[in-house]
């Protein structure tokens, strides 16, 4: 079975692509490679790589593809707010384009990577039937993509949306701007965990391998179970308040619990039910936040992971790329050749 993973060199995509290869899938990765290709170097001889943008790649890229796992997107709220127009182009319009092209080219399954961030700020335990409350451009783009792509579902084209909890754990394309990973970095560099005020906000969490397993579980499920459906991905026992999560991270890496506040009070807070995917598909998670904290800490200690690599903080890296793009435009306008 040939599977295309858009964003396959990214934080989640590079882990998911390996897991697919290990299960015997023929994997094509479509990725702009804004963060480089280091994350997939060791599997470069096992994949087909298309270095292109989800907004304008050639439709022929989908010929012979059986399923698309669509992860290409600006990946968090701060990045999404850098340029709202581009966020909507990439996270909404380009993903609708991919789904429509997939259907037109005979692809049988399409899975959209969405996020539990669409719930915003709400009380109670939220299910897939709960009314979303998107507070950022990133969250709004996810909702738009879900609505438009689920409409494409029919007997020949299975379309599914995956609302992922906040992801943690080690990846070859590492992100240290995610809660658990960032806490570990703070401990490693400064001996203190940075906590966004006021620490009472609730979040659901999921290990990067567990969320990758959910994509594969949906891919391998019968169409009638997943077609036109939204699934929250995570586990109820990982609905955690941020301050308590920080304590768990400190305990996991066996360091004293010291912390420092940063930012203003977080406006997002939500707890999520994962009953639907558990009962419908028999899905369950295998890892905890403590597991993820330990693997990230060990990667930092061993030097496998460079905590000063600017590419690990998504919004900072995008700002750097935007500055470079601006410089190049000035060079072109002034007729200067480098």
Q: Does domain 2-317 match CATH 3.40.50.2300?
A: no
Query: pLDDT, tens digit, for every residue of 93-148?
Result: 999 999 999 999 999 999 999 999 999 999 999 999 999 999 999 999 999 999 99
Q: Helix or strand or coil: residue 126?
A: strand
Is the per-residue pLDDT at 327 higher than 70?
A: no
Mean pLDDT of 162-173: 98
pLDDT in tens, 53-70: 999 999 999 999 999 999
Q: Which residues contact 267 (CB under 8 A, 6 or more apart)?
A: 120, 121, 135
pLDDT single digits (tens) 232-270: 999 999 999 999 999 999 999 999 999 999 888 888 999
Cα separations in angstroms, 238 against 16, 248, 255? 21, 11, 21
* Average pLDDT score over residue span 207-229: 98
pLDDT at 152: 98
Long-range contacts of 191-194 (CB under 8 A, 24+ apart): 191/255, 191/258, 192/258, 192/259, 192/260, 193/246, 193/249, 193/250, 193/257, 193/258, 193/259, 193/260, 194/259, 194/260, 194/261, 194/262
Q: From residue 255, how far is each of 87, 192, 235 by CA, in Å?
A: 39, 9, 26
What span, in angstroms and rounded, lies between the C-alpha atoms of 99 and 58?
A: 14
Residues whose CB falls within 8 Å of the CB of residue 175, separated by 6 or more in sequence, listed in order: 11, 75, 181, 312, 313, 314
List, in sequence order, every residue forming a beta bridge with 261; answer none if it has no partner.
195
Q: Is residue 173's pLDDT more than 50?
A: yes
109 and 66 Cβ atoms separated by less than 8 Å: yes
Going from N- to C-terminal start, the domains of the chain cover 2-317
Two tokens, residue 184: 């570990």
């Amino acid at each position: 079975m040939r599977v295309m993973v858009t964003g396959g060199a990214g934080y989640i995509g590079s882990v998911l692509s390996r897991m697919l290869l290990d299960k015997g899938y023929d994997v094509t990765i479509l990725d702009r490679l804004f963060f480089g290709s280091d994350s997939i170097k060791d599997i470069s001889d096992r994949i087909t790589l298309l270095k292109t943008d989800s907004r304008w790649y050639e439709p022929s890229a989908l010929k012979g593809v059986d399923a698309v796992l669509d992860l290409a997107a600006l990946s968090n709220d701060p990045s999404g707010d850098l340029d709202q127009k581009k966020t909507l182009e990439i996270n909404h319009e380009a993903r609708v384009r991919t789904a429509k092209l997939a259907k037109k080219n005979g692809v049988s399954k399409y899975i959209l990577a969405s996020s539990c961030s669409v719930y915003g700020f709400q009380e109670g335990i939220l299910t897939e039937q709960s009314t979303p409350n998107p507070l950022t451009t990133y969250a709004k783009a996810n909702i738009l993509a879900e609505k438009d792509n689920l409409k494409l579902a029919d007997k020949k084209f299975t379309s599914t949306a995956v609302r992922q909890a906040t992801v943690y754990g080690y990846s070859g394309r590492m992100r240290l701007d995610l809660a658990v990973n960032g806490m570990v970095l703070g401990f490693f560099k400064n001996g203190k965990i940075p906590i966004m005020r006021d620490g009472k906000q609730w979040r659901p969490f999921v290990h990067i391998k567990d969320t990758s397993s959910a994509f594969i579980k949906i891919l391998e499920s019968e169409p009638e179970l997943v077609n036109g459906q939204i699934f929250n991905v995570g586990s109820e026992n990982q609905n955690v308040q941020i301050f308590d999560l920080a304590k768990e991270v400190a305990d996991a890496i066996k360091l004293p619990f010291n912390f420092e506040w940063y930012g203003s009070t977080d406006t997002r807070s939500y707890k999520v039910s994962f009953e639907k995917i558990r009962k419908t598909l028999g899905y369950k998670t295998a890892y905890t936040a403590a597991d993820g904290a330990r693997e990230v800490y060990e990667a930092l200690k061993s030097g496998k992971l460079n905590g000063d690599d600017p590419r690990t903080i998504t919004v900072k890296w995008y700002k750097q790329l935007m500055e470079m793009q601006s410089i190049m435009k000035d060079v072109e306008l002034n007729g200067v050749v480098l």
